[in-house]
Amino acid sequence: MKRTTRIFCLALALLLTLTVPALAFEELSKGSKGEAVVELQNKLNELGYSVGTADGDFGGKTEKAIRQFQKDKGLEETGILDEETYNALFETGIEMIAENADTKVIGIWPRLSTMYILTNDGSLVHFWTSHYQNGNTERNSETIATDVKSMITTGGTMPLFVKEDGSIMTDASVLLVEYEFSDDWNIQNDFPLIGASDTHAIGLKQDGSWISTGANENEERDIDGWSGITQLQVGCHYTVGLKEDGTVIATGKNDFSQCKVFDWTDIVKISVSPNALGATFGLKSDGTVVATGYYGNIVNQWENVIDICAGFSASFGLTEDGEILSTNDEVYEYLPKNHKCENAVGIFGDWDAEGGHIIVVKDDGSIIVYGSDADFYNSCLNNAETDLSLTSTANIAPSNRTSSSDDAESNAEMAAVLDAFKELGDSIDKNGDGYLSMDELFK
């Protein structure tokens, strides 16, 4: 696929609205046919139990896949989709995020072993399971706010939430250093770059000046002289910026070499881990990956990578053919058997010693959650219409990775396509608020 075509597909995918139907229980066995079998086969393929083409005919391959799934889950190996097997495959009894057909999920962000989910009615909900505290699997949720317009996840390890009045907030309950946002942080002031961690937040204003709040004991907010920055990453007590020439600059805490990035070149994306043992990752234009400290010896073997995401105790990469890479081998037990997700275009997530989540974005705009309690989150998302806008998933940028022979040509093509998308966005943003509603998008 040509570079420009691929960029178009990636950008378009992030604008799509997708509804994924949930499969109601129906016992299925060899010889069964119909739409229910198609959905069963799609689910088995998605989980790495290949049945080939989902043709709606429950044959020998489907029976074999069911048996293998049952064996892996410690169930009786019957080869039949009985209710127990169905519950393991599709996780029934899940409370729906959306209580009515008009509610859509417009933002999702994993933090360690929990998840933030934003719906279009302004509700921002924090989900977690109590087994991380006391050994049981009771699910919990808390509504943090009811007037949130969008998520900003582009610039750091903590999501920022934009309220209806344009003001910015974050989840103060998880901050290591308490900080607040003044009136100058109102999103109406237009921030080309903005990011936050649990220690500080930084924004680049339209006039080129910087604004910051939070801790500065390690000079993590000492960025006034920075210029030509195309991507910002805010970590725990340190800040990293990607410059337009592909080099990287950093300031702040450096006791684990997290700021040792000044010799990096040809970088197209950066990502920082959220923990105090910070690490910085860089995706190079040739599809290889570099990282600071210990992780450098792991990721230097990665190839053909199109996206990266740094997590707490595990970090992730996504290759051109959909393979999910991790710096922590424990993650692989939660992935499909071949570690691949077909038609994947972006990855983000977080992980700690108790577990975590990886979210993969596919080229049709759908998302899949892998990891601890993945069945719960996938069921929630599959039972609610998903409308992930560019403002809520902007951390997944189209890759501009090219080979050394066509860098200039491909980068020029990308710039032209992105300019075209900006022009298109400006033309349909009728109320001029910088956001594209679904009404504006499809009129």
Structure tokens belonging to residue 411: 């980068």
Q: Over range 270-281, report the average pLDDT.
A: 90
Domains of the chain: 35-90 (1.10.101.10), 104-386 (2.130.10.30)
The CA-atom distances, in angstroms, between 176 and each of 108, 198, 359 are 22, 5, 25
Using 50, 70 and 90 to split pLDDT, how confident is the model at 419? low
348: which strand partners? Answer: 359
Q: CB-based contacts of 302: which residues, under 8 Å, 6+ apart?
A: 288, 289, 317, 319, 325
pLDDT at 3: 35
CB atoms closer than 10 angstroms to residue 407: 16
Q: Which residues contact 297 (CB under 8 A, 6 or more apart)?
A: none
Tokens of 347: 């990855």
Work out whether strand 114-119 and strand 104-111 pair parallel, antiparallel, or are unpaired.
Answer: antiparallel
What pLDDT is stored for residue 244 in this prediction? 95
Q: What is the pLDDT of residue 385?
A: 57
Q: Which pair of tokens denotes residue 222?
A: 């000492």
**Confidence band (pLDDT; 50, 70, 90) for 253?**
very high
Pick the closest to residue 344 from 385, 307, 315 (CA basis).
307
Lowest average pLDDT, out of 102-111, 151-160, 361-370, goes to 102-111
Residues contacting 12, CB < 8 A, separation 6+: none
3-class secondary structure, 188: helix
Residue 304's CB is within 10 A of a number of other CB atoms, namely 15
Q: What is the pLDDT of residues 54-78, one digit of tens each?
A: 999 999 999 999 998 888 777 889 9
| 91 or 219, greater pLDDT | 219
d(CA 315, CA 360): 13
Q: Is the pLDDT of residue 399 over 50?
A: no
Output the pTM of the full model: 0.67
